[in-house]
């Protein structure tokens, strides 16, 4: 296998294993104190039996090692960025179902006038309009949330403006959805 000496973007590799996994513990991805502590700890040992990987209650019942569970979302105070991240995931899931409505409309339009009239009637009811309004909002909110994530990917907007970006996603998605529907009714 290849040996590498020199700098790497993620640290310094002093020696790579030559014979498959043999000597894998000498792989040192980070230089300095972290690598020293990793070498002193030795190679990572797998659990002796399956019970050691279970949660605390299951392990205790099975007679295994009791370990604390990792904290979950409920210990964190909700922030606007957290809420909008969850909303972004929810709108992404909603767009899957809304796309089925779009496909039904396109199939009905391709099938003929009778099929199209049935789907147009269904979408013209108050419940159909409410679903279409929700689909429009989900599409716009997901788009603006994606732009917010793109801004964060460029390592921008992590200061005090982070909250403004999250709130702006919520406000702009509502405003743009209403504007889209106003324009759609003006054109109609």
Q: Categorize the per-residue pLDDT at 52 as very low, low, confident or very high, splitting at 50, 70 and 90.
A: very low
Is the per-residue pLDDT at 44 higher than 70? no
pLDDT of residue 145 exceeding 90, the answer is yes
In a domain, 19, yes or no: yes
Calculate the CA 68 to chain-centre distance. 26
Pair (114, 170) in one structural domain:
yes
Helices (H), the chain: 33-41, 56-61, 80-111, 113-124, 126-153, 161-187
Q: Stretch 46-63: mean pLDDT, rounded? A: 53
Residues constituting the chain: 188
Q: State whether 139 and 84 are in the same domain.
A: yes
Angle at 125 between CA 123 and CA 127, to 5 degrees: 90
Give how many domains the chain has, as a whole number. 2
Domain with 169 in it: 78-187
pLDDT at residue 15, as a whole number: 46
Q: Using an 8 Å Cβ cutoff, are 138 and 173 in contact?
A: no
Residues 181, 98 share a domain: yes
155-177 pLDDT, tens per residue? 888 888 888 888 899 999 999 99
Same-domain status, 46 and 131: no
Is 26 among the domain residues? yes
In terms of pLDDT, which residue wins out, 181 or 33? 181
CB count within 10 Å of CB 66 equals 10
Q: Are residues 32 and 106 in the same domain?
A: no
Please report the pLDDT score of residue 187 as a whole number: 95
Asked if residue 116 has pLDDT above 90, the reply is yes
Mean pLDDT of 23-49: 52
Considering the domain boundaries, does residue 175 fall inside one? yes
pLDDT-based confidence at 58, cuts 50/70/90?
A: low
The upper half-sphere exposure of residue 81, i.e. CA atoms within 13 Å in the direction of its Cβ, equals 13
pLDDT band at 111; cut points 50, 70, 90:
very high
Q: Are residues 94 and 172 in the same domain?
A: yes
User: Are residues 111 and 49 both part of a single domain?
Assistant: no
Taking the model in full, what pTM does it have? Answer: 0.60
Q: What pLDDT is attached to residue 163?
A: 87
Query: What's the pLDDT band for 89 if we cut at 50, 70, 90?
Result: very high
Q: Say if residue 37 is in the same domain as residue 116.
A: no
Are residue 125 and residue 156 in the same domain, yes or no? yes
| 83, 45: one domain | no
């Amino acid at each position: 296998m290849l040996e590498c000496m020199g700098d790497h973007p993620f640290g310094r590799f002093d020696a790579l294993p030559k014979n498959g996994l043999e000597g894998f513990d000498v792989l040192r991805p980070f230089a300095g104190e972290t690598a020293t502590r990793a070498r002193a700890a030795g190679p990572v040992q797998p659990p002796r039996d399956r019970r050691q990987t279970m949660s605390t209650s299951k392990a205790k019942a099975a007679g295994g090692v009791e370990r604390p569970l990792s904290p979950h979302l409920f210990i964190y105070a909700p922030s606007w960025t957290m809420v909008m991240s969850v909303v972004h995931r929810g709108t992404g899931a909603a767009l899957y179902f809304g796309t089925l409505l779009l496909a039904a409309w396109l199939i009905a339009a391709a099938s003929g006038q009778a099929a199209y009239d049935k789907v147009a009637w269904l979408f013209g009811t108050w419940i159909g309009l409410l679903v279409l309004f929700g689909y429009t909002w989900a599409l716009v909110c997901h788009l603006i949330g994606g732009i917010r994530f793109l801004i964060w990917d460029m390592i921008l907007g992590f200061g005090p403006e982070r909250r403004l970006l999250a709130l702006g996603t919520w406000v702009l998605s509502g405003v743009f959805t209403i504007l889209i529907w106003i324009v759609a009714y003006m054109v109609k």
